[in-house]
Structure 1
Amino acid sequence: MKPSSLPEIPLPPAIRSRHVEGINGLTMHVLEAGFETRGRPCVLLLHGFPELAYSWRKVMPALSEAGYHVIAPDQRGYGRTVGWHAAYDGDLAPFRLTNLVRDALGVVHAFGYRSVAAVIGHDFGSPVAAWCALVRPDVFRSVVMMSAPFGGPPPLPFDTAELPAKPKAEDPVHRELARLARPRKHYQWYYSTRAADGDMHHPRQGVHDFLRAYYHHKSADWKQNQPHPLGSWSADELAKLPTYYVMDLAKTMPETVAEEMPDAAAIAANQWLRDHELSFYAAEYERTGFQGGLQWYRCGTSGVFDAELQIWSGRTIDVPSAFISGRQDWGTYQRPGIFEAMQTRACTRMLLCELIDGAGHWVQQEQGAEVSRLLLQFLVANHAR
């Protein structure tokens, strides 16, 4: 579908939608604020799954009012950005982390910036932002990770010259999860299956209601979200996670979240994701499907590109960094030890680490004003150093 034939996006007046051609093989759809005057410092916002550039609509005006040129693209595989292909049997390489960093670098350069004040990523956008800061600190001068902590690059085998070579060990946790009294599976490995896109693109309840239940289940509105650190990456510990992370073995994601679908009164009372806003997400995913975003998960679970990432083994993020998440977000703890490793090892100049009460996983939508305040606090502190 041509961009001109797509419906208008329900945006605040301060934000405009546009397409930019020639970005690493893509014609990228971008939301932009603070574009009225030139010479502003730039902030790049990277969304996660299953979201869009639209997910930043609540923080973009505050950042632009503070004097920043704010750019939020639909990332590769999402929304109105075109030029990507996501067949399940197609090439995964365009969706690997280093190429997503290349996409981000291309956006920055397309808008005429040699560097940006900050790259800010949420959910799966968080590791992309982290890798931007690790690989090109000269361009991405500070980084904010949201809802997904960064534990550092994968390690290289060390001090092995006198040892016999060992084949890569299979992670036993998946077999262990399947053998629990209540058999389970990890959502990222489910997302990597051939069936996942069809399950979510054509769910029994429809895409709109699937997304309503999914966003609700992972938000602070679902009162059972009371996260805490896990002891280990083991089946017994992972089984403590809610079912949107560690699913019942026989269920799809739409079936999983349907059990927690909010009632009509709760939907009417929801102020952070009103129905017309949800309808935009639903229409976009009905049009594109979910496979573009699912390819990102497949790159991670397959391990195919780990060797490339090991080029940076031992490297730390040395630019000013911050982490923001919801206090009711299990994403902070879903990988045991990563939240702590980010603060003690992976980032050497962490200026801010905040968990916002009253927010689950969709922190910049659930608590947009508080996220905006913290981002501006970080940007001011960063500038002062």
Structure 2
Amino acid sequence: MHVLESGFESKGRPCVLLLHGFPELAYSWRKVMPALAAAGYHVIAPDQRGYGRTTGWSADYDGDLAPFRFPNLVRDALGLISAFGYRHVDAVIGHDFGSPVAAWCALIRPDVFRSVVMMSAPFPGPPALPFDTVDKPPAPPKDDAVLRELAALPRPRKHYQWYYSTREANADMHGAPQGLHDFLRGYYHHKSADWAGNRPYPLRAWSAAELAKLPTYYVMDRDKTMAETVAEEMPDAAAIAANRWLPDSELAYYSAQYRRTGFQGGLQWYRCGTSGAFDAELQAWSDRPIDVPSAFISGKQDWGTYQRAGALEAMQTRACSNMTLCELVDGAGHWVQQEQPEAVNRLLLRFLNKSTE
């Protein structure tokens, strides 16, 4: 596993583990790590399985998906901190797809991951296990008609997670007509507070009519690729030159890594979820809440907070029994720790100070 470290110069520090999301890398924590280290922590941020300079994973679309399921990603995190000589960490902090990984870390091994911060993706809890079925066997799983209903809208649509699960998605992005660097520029811009259309609000239900209210980076036009989708919202040269949270010199690191690896490693995570192949395994933790101190931080202009109706409320009322902080940061879209690092660092340190008292 390739890792970035901060605060490693002195021994005996408490440890904090940072887990990135898609399409990011350990590098996405570059504005958080120095602040946590200055507060006395040894901060470790890996390129997760499927990403960056971490090796030992397969990008074969027809290969085994099992290595990318949540319990194995928890095993990765556990193995990493163990390799550094830690029996526990003060906090595991995850952003985007790293958020559910962090949540599962705290759920499965609360003795090791002693607090958790979920960022930009609420955790609604484990899937439910069928209950009281001796005399009334459970009904078979209902076919989710939403995907068909989205395709049947007057403006036909598709959900990005199922698009990311297709064989074509990696090639569409890796070989983007505008070039990979400009693809990532458009993608990060479209999901940031810089894009004026990001004015999110809660959706009422998991239905085609409600999902169609989401921006096209979540609910795409049926016949467009993600590269084509974000190209329509590409910032102009002046906006790119004025960008301070992700200047081209920093974006170049992402584009260089993804040019080398492609996106399939990260896309395998989406395929695990949309396939439902590992839901039964996760039911082993059905009705089990996260009991360690927990927090949620997201951008106020981030649709990710609301993309799954009811998830934010479920996290606060059922999935976490000890949530002490829930904050939406103004001036930030989906990339909250990159767009507004000072605010995020203040919130993280407030949470860490309280949870370790």
TM range (shorter): over 0.9
Task: State the partner residue of 1:99.
Answer: 72
User: 1:363 & 1:280 partners in 2: Cα distance?
Assistant: 19
Task: State the partner residue of 1:171.
Answer: 144
CA shift, 1:157, in A, is 1.1
Task: State the partner residue of 2:224.
Answer: 251
Q: Amino acid of the residue matched to residue 72 of structure 2?
A: N
CA shift, 1:170, in A, is 1.4
Q: Does residue 122 of structure 2 align to residue 152 of structure 1?
A: no
User: 1:220 & 1:345 partners in 2: Cα distance?
Assistant: 30
* Equivalent in 322, 326, 336 of residue 363 of structure 1: 336
Task: State the partner residue of 1:181.
Answer: 154
Q: Does residue 29 of structure 2 align to residue 56 of structure 1?
A: yes
CA shift, 1:161, in A, is 2.0
CA shift, 1:315, in A, is 0.1
Q: Amino acid of the residue matched to residue 132 of structure 2?
A: D
Task: State the partner residue of 1:240.
Answer: 213
What SS does structure 1 have at the residue aligned with 2:2?
Answer: strand
Across the aligned residues of Structure 1 and Structure 2, the Cα RMSD in angstroms comes to: 0.6
User: 2:113 & 2:137 partners in 1: Cα distance?
Assistant: 41
Task: State the partner residue of 1:274.
Answer: 247
Closer, same or farther in 2 for the Cα pair 1:222/1:211, shift >3 Å? same
User: 1:83 & 1:99 partners in 2: Cα distance?
Assistant: 13
Task: State the partner residue of 2:93.
Answer: 120
Task: State the partner residue of 1:290.
Answer: 263
* Equivalent in 319, 330, 334 of residue 292 of structure 2: 319
Q: Is the 8 A contact 2:130 2:138 kept in 1?
A: no
CA shift, 1:383, in A, is 1.2
Task: State the partner residue of 2:5.
Answer: 32
TM-score (norm 1): 0.92
Task: State the partner residue of 1:15.
Answer: none
Q: Does residue 263 of structure 2 align to residue 328 of structure 1?
A: no
What SS does structure 2 have at the residue aligned with 1:353?
Answer: strand
1:317-361 deviation per Cα after TM superposition (whole angstroms, max 9, x unaligned):
000000000000000000000001100111010010000000000
User: 2:70 & 2:36 partners in 1: Cα distance?
Assistant: 27
Runs of 4+ in 1 over 6 A off after TM superposition: none
Task: State the partner residue of 1:9.
Answer: none
Task: State the partner residue of 1:25.
Answer: none
Q: Does residue 104 of structure 2 align to residue 136 of structure 1?
A: no
Unaligned runs of 5+ in 1: 1-27
User: 2:21 & 2:232 partners in 1: Cα distance?
Assistant: 24
> Using CA pairs below 8 Å that are at least 6 residues apart, which structure has the higher relative contact order?
2
Task: State the partner residue of 1:305.
Answer: 278
Q: Does residue 183 of structure 2 align to residue 214 of structure 1?
A: no
CA shift, 1:86, in A, is 1.7
Task: State the partner residue of 1:12.
Answer: none
User: 1:187 & 1:376 partners in 2: Cα distance?
Assistant: 34
CA shift, 1:158, in A, is 1.3
1:267-296 deviation per Cα after TM superposition (whole angstroms, max 9, x unaligned):
011000000100110010000000000000
User: 1:86 & 1:312 partners in 2: Cα distance?
Assistant: 29
Task: State the partner residue of 1:353.
Answer: 326
User: 1:243 & 1:290 partners in 2: Cα distance?
Assistant: 20
What SS does structure 2 have at the residue aligned with 1:240?
Answer: coil
User: 1:336 & 1:268 partners in 2: Cα distance?
Assistant: 36
Identical counterparts, % of pairs: 78
How many pairs are equivalent?
357
CA shift, 1:168, in A, is 2.2
User: 2:36 & 2:50 partners in 1: Cα distance?
Assistant: 26
CA shift, 1:68, in A, is 0.1
What SS does structure 2 have at the residue aligned with 1:344?
Answer: helix
User: 1:164 & 1:349 partners in 2: Cα distance?
Assistant: 34
* Equivalent in 216, 224, 233 of residue 260 of structure 1: 233
What SS does structure 2 have at the residue aligned with 1:126?
Answer: helix
CA shift, 1:164, in A, is 4.5
CA shift, 1:166, in A, is 3.1
CA shift, 1:165, in A, is 4.9
* Equivalent in 339, 343, 346 of residue 312 of structure 2: 339
What SS does structure 2 have at the residue aligned with 1:209?
Answer: helix
TM-score (norm 2): 0.99
Closer, same or farther in 2 for the Cα pair 1:44/1:164, shift >3 Å? closer
Closer, same or farther in 2 for the Cα pair 1:237/1:274, shift >3 Å? same
Task: State the partner residue of 1:382.
Answer: 355
User: 1:226 & 1:291 partners in 2: Cα distance?
Assistant: 30
